[in-house]
Amino acid sequence: MFSYRHAFHAGNHADVLKHAILVQILDYFNRKDAPYWVIDTHAGAGLYALDGEWAGQSGEVVDGLDRLLGAPQPPELVARYLRAVQDFNPDGVANRYPGSPALTLHALRASDKLRLFELHPTEIEVLEDTLRQLDAPRRQVTIAREDGFAGLRRLLPPPTRRGLVLIDPSYEDKQDYRHTLQAVHAGLERFASGCFAVWYPLVQRVQAHEMARALERLPVEWLHATLTVRKPAPDGLGLHGSGMFIINPPWTLREELQAALPWLTRILAQDAHARHTLETSAQRTGPSGTPSPSAKAGLKPRRPAGSPVPAQKRSPSRK
């Protein structure tokens, strides 16, 4: 149950898609003065050392964030995400990767609230330390060592009646697909106007495809984006892509993704099978859109993208 550690995967192609969309949604919420809540059901450690043993051992960042750094003309959704990551690396070198709690805390205003759930005993200790490092105000941020699926119910609807719910379990347990659907159904019953963002992996599991189709049958406004970076492995193992399903999305998100997804597909492609999809409840569309010019982010990768990752021994914990 507690074998998954996101530090191994920090900054990979799935994080790029998930966090670029998260940053855009938070920017949209900040356009209005009214306060809002963000509820993160599976918070993780919050901040990850890309030059540490965990991320360094897997090297997944090489085919994720590292490919974006210095790439020409990123569309605005990507450029904005890179600026957010850069804010956590003031020396200009991408050695730290902010997870969703850190990115969210960075975007929140004094009147907004962040509610975090994390059940992994080691991850929550690291998360608490991360929030201390970031000087997170206690009145603004709370952490619960609890199953986020269960804890979500008692927090909805938020007192402000504005909010974002991020649901992104590891899906190592096949039951997570069913629990995610249940959480979305229950959440909409309590908070029909809320924005729900569901991340899920593109893997060779029937549950992943069934969950996506079930979400698309919901009688609500939604946006569904997927990014595939390579052909699925013959043995069915490994992550060949990921998806983000957003209920009650910002009206600006579709246009930004139409510009960003083709660019991300080209930059993150690992073989000729790379592709993307973008569908909405109003009108389903295939791959489309042209990337728009935008300023480059100033971050530099720790090493050239594609360079070999040095072998390291697994550490039983990361402090």
Catalytic annotation, residues: 168
**Per DSSP, what are the bridge partners of residue 275?**
228
**Contact criterion met (CB below 8 Å) for 248 and 196:** yes
Burial of 147 (0-12, 13-18, 19+ CB in 10 A): middle
Q: What is residue 54's three-state secondary structure?
A: helix
Minimal CA–CA distance to 57: which of 307, 305, 308, 314? 314
**Per DSSP, what are the bridge partners of residue 227?**
242, 276
The HSE-up count of residue 24 (CA atoms within 13 Å, CB side) is: 24
Q: Say how far apart CA 208 and CA 170 lie, in whole Å.
A: 12
DSSP conformation class of 122 = H
Query: Which residue type, as a one-letter code, is found at position 151?
Result: G
DSSP conformation class of 93 = B
The HSE-up count of residue 19 (CA atoms within 13 Å, CB side) is: 29
Q: Say how far apart CA 29 and CA 195 lie, in whole Å.
A: 10
